[in-house]
A and B are shown apart, each in its own frame.
Chain A
């Protein structure tokens, strides 16, 4: 199974600033995704991080607000831009390893609070 390291684990930020979250996997993975979990809520998919090309965003999420990079098969970043208190959430990276019988792995998440 894949080991996913997500940084930072938590942060407190001022409104109007931006924060970049890193997701590093210990092996090459087929697919990488970013999810958001608002307080007391379920997880919602933000986007699919595509290696070497622009990310694919879900409805309600845009590149200007959540730019994503994936320069190789083991690393991705999610930036939360121009933050407001509504962006206070847990952000989770997840990966799929291959197309065989593999579970979907999640990083430990980044707890983000905006003041």
Chain B
């Protein structure tokens, strides 16, 4: 069975601080996808990134960066110079790769509530 653990329930930072959200996953699949989503107070789920298990390169997108470490089954998310607008719940998720019987089904972590104070 798949499992995603986000050990940090809540994080509070002051604007301009860097913050890292941890994500650890468990799966028996050899190929899989990892995701990060943002859920602002308005409730919609905003896609941030999808990473294929074959691709261990770290990715940077503006103030966001992701560190994928297959050896430790971790897919951590860092926000540099945080802003008040980054305040949201962040979810890490896992799914099978195409071809699997459970492809498309997402297993979510419990989420991390990030509060950025001015």
Contact = CB atoms under 8 A, between A and B. Distances in A.
A74 B108 CA distance: 25
20 contacts: A31-B104, A33-B104, A33-B106, A42-B108, A42-B111, A43-B45, A43-B91, A44-B108, A45-B105, A45-B107, A90-B43, A92-B45, A94-B106, A101-B50, A103-B47, A103-B50, A104-B47, A104-B50, A105-B47, A109-B45
Nearest to A35: B106
A42 B37 CA distance: 12
Contacts of B52: 101
Interface residues of B, number: 21
B43 A109 contact: yes
Interface in A77-107: 90, 92, 94, 96, 99, 101, 103-106
Contact of B108 (A43, A108, A109, A111): A43
- The listed residue with most A CB atoms (<10 A of its CB), out of B43, B52, B104, is B104
Closest 10 A/B residue pairs (Cβ): A106-B45, A99-B98, A31-B104, A96-B104, A108-B44, A42-B108, A43-B108, A103-B47, A103-B50, A42-B110
B95 interface: yes
Interface residues of A, number: 23
A45 B93 CA distance: 12
A48 interface: yes
Q: Determine which residue in A41, A99, A104, A106 has the highest number of CB atoms from chain B within 10 A of its CB, and name it.
A: A104
Given A90-B43, A109-B43, A109-B45, A104 B35 contact: yes
A109 to B, nearest CB: 5
Contacts of A45: 105-107
A110 to B, nearest CB: 10
Interface string B61-84: 000000000000000000000000
B35 A103 contact: yes
A30 B104 CA distance: 9
Nearest to B99: A99
A97 B44 CA distance: 19
A111 B111 contact: no
B47 A106 contact: yes
Nearest to B43: A109
